[in-house]
Amino acid sequence: MSNQNAKWIQCYRQAPTEVPLIIGQLPAQLLQKGKLDGSAARSLILALEAISQSEPTHLEVEQFSQQVRQLLSPINLRVMPGEAEAINLLSALDRLDKQVLAQIVRVNCPSLAQKIWDRNIYAVVKAIRCTGNKHAAMLDEILASAWCRSKVTNYVLEAKGS
């Protein structure tokens, strides 16, 4: 269902009013039922990415950002497909919510680091890099964080071009 929604949204560059709300609720429902596997996760990421890129005016941005952030935590991008899509989703979401990447760095990344889900953090670092220099200070914040391990440090230094 989410892949079809994503294709429709990409084609028409808009999301019907109800679609972002419904798709945004799916991660929590699937997680609760234990059905958030690789294909479902990738489909959701694609649908959420399409919604973000369409920049719908009727979107509850704060609620939508929260739903995307919740999706990032239970999905291990090293194991499940969707890393490139997650980077695109976070980059597109940044255009809607200028605080979302900072919230992810401060709230989600410490728990991702604790799980040793470095590829998820890599997706965040790449999304920060994709936004240009406007979030460059966040890369320094990651480097200064107690949870930043050597592999994450390498990702950040690569993103900074060091």
- What pLDDT shows up at residue 109? 96
Section 152-160 average pLDDT: 92
Fold (topology level) of 2-160? 1.25.40
Q: What is the pTM of this model?
A: 0.83
Q: Which distant-in-sequence residues (6+ apart) come within 8 Å of 25 by Cβ?
A: 67
pLDDT band with cut points at 50, 70 and 90 for residue 16: low
The pLDDT tens digits for 137-149 are 999 999 999 999 9
Domain ranges of the chain: 2-160
The pLDDT tens digits for 79-130 are 776 788 899 999 999 998 999 999 999 999 999 999 999 999 999 999 999 9
- The DSSP call for residue 80 is S
Query: Helices in the chain by DSSP H: which ranges?
Result: 2-12, 18-32, 38-54, 61-72, 83-96, 100-103, 109-114, 118-130, 136-144, 150-160
Q: Please report, rounded to a whole number, the percentage of residues in the chain having pLDDT higher than 70.
A: 85
